[in-house]
Amino acid sequence: MNDRISFDEFLKVDIRAGRIIRAEPFPEARKPAIKLWIDFGPELGEKKSSAQITALYAPDALIGKQVMAVVNFPARQIGPFMSEVLVLGVSDAQGHITLISPDHDVPAGARMH
């Protein structure tokens, strides 16, 4: 594996816990997606993201779910929607994305260590 990074480089990636407070279908996206509004607590506030998670999640079922997201990437325009954070997930055997979540409730905005 030649794509090694240093620990200091890894620490530059700011991964935080947030709670989904709003979720809506995103029919304008080229690939099926859901628009998310995520609360990252008082320091970062509310951020938006677009996630291709429609195979395993319905918007209504996502409300209140804690997720992990990279919060220090540049915002990215996805159709008419500005995605401000990258929600993290893992592909299952069928290629569907499963969201990464803390096992226990953590404060909004808590940083991954």
Per-residue pLDDT reduced to its tens digit, 44-91: 999 999 999 999 999 999 999 999 999 999 999 999 999 999 999 999
Q: Is the pLDDT of residue 108 over 90?
A: yes
Query: How far apart are alpha carbons 18 and 9 in whole angstroms?
Result: 23
In this prediction the pTM is 0.93
SS3 (DSSP) at 19: strand
**What is the average pLDDT score of the chain?**
96
Picking from 102, 73, 97, the residue whose alpha carbon sits closest to that of residue 86 is 73
**5-29 core/surface letters (b: 16 or more CB in 10 A; e: else):** eeeeeeeeeebbbbbbeebeebeeb
Q: Of the CATH numbers 2.40.50.140, 3.40.640.10, 2.60.40.650, 1.10.150.120, which one belongs to the domain with range 12-99?
A: 2.40.50.140
**Helix ranges (DSSP H) in 63-111:** none
Take residue 29 and report the two structure tokens written for it.
Answer: 């996206």
Q: Compute the distance between CA of residue 73 and CA of residue 11 in angstroms, rounded to an integer.
A: 13
Annotated domain spans of the chain? 12-99
From the list 13, 15, 24, 12, the residue with the least C-alpha distance to 49 is 24
